[in-house]
Amino acid sequence: MLERKLGRSGLEVSAIGLGCMGMSSSYGPPRDRGEMIALLRAAVDRGVDFFDTAEVYGPYTNEELLGEALAPLRDRVKIATKFGFQIDPSGRKAWTGLDSRPEHVRSVVEASLRRLRTDHIDLLYQHRVDPAVPIEEVAGAVHELIAQGKVRHFGLSEASAATIRRAHAVQPLAAVQNEYSIWWRRPEDDLLPTLEELGIGLVAYSPLGRGFLTGAMDQATVFAAGDFRSHLPRFSAEARRANEVLVELLRGFGRRLGATPAQVALAWVLARKPFIVPIPGTTRLARLEENLAATELVLGAGELAELDRAAAAIAIEGARYPAFLDELTGR
């Protein structure tokens, strides 16, 4: 597996990481724990050393899963987790609001360390920007945790360029995590130029469009109970029908290059900038192996330009999030 550096932070990780949320939440019922432990360890065996989780995934159970699976392999992996939500104590829903007060950040880190069965977190993100807490206070709290050795690197998720600059001035950021794919390119407007200027990496979540770009679903797909895609405008049956043209574009390129649509989509992300690391999620070994093989698919300048032109001409149907969630994107 090729390695990539997340900006100028010194944090070097596998060119493709593994997003672990779907193993425990958001995409239907939690998967079998034993099977997911086997999958996580299989990923390490295949060269993946960068794993993404958060306290809110489950909540808590995803960190516990990674702790059990990766503790015997801890010296071979880097684990990223996140803080920033108030967790619903009743368990009726994952979170009830935002909370990035410094005292909350410190308590979350202590709890995450216990669940992850480790003495340090390689990359700690603020999961969503909390407008009630100045970002300088958040960065200062993480700075103290880094000085204590409990955290190695600091990151933000779905933050604006202005917020990134303010945080970076207090505690340098290793990475910003943002949705980025061939069907969500808004980060190219101001985020990517800012990261390149400041020497910060981009960790691209949902690089396969929450599974849509794999070609495994169509307008007739029925989502399982608990799959949050059923609430996303971009995943309505009408939007899926309209957006199939983008999947067909990827299929066409894949036929020419001997690759799957997912591999073309991931190769496209990898080709954008050398400091971008996609973290596609999966719960199946075959999909994991398919995704990792995308590192072997190198798009030439002509192919990349052709794909860019064709994709830019496609109008994507449906908002990324419903309005009540879109306000959490920091935009």
Identify the active-site residue in 27, 57, 180, 205: 57
SS3 track for the chain: CCEEECCCCCCEEECCCEECHHHCCCECCCCCHHHHHHHHHHHHHCCCCEEECCCCCCCCHHHHHHHHHHHHHHHHCEEEEEECEEECCCCCCCEEEECCCHHHHHHHHHHHHHHHCCCCEEEEEECCCCCCCCHHHHHHHHHHHHHCCCEEEEEEECCCHHHHHHHHHHCCEEEEEEECECCECHHHCCHHHHHHHHCCEEEEECCCHHHHHHCCCCCCCCCCCCEHHHHCHHHCHHHHHHHHHHHHHHHHHHHHHCCCHHHHHHHHHHHHCCCEEECCECCCHHHHHHHHHHHHCCCCHHHHHHHHHHHHCCCCCCCCCCHHHHHHHCC
| Residue 205 among the catalytic residues | no
User: Residues with catalytic annotation?
Assistant: 57
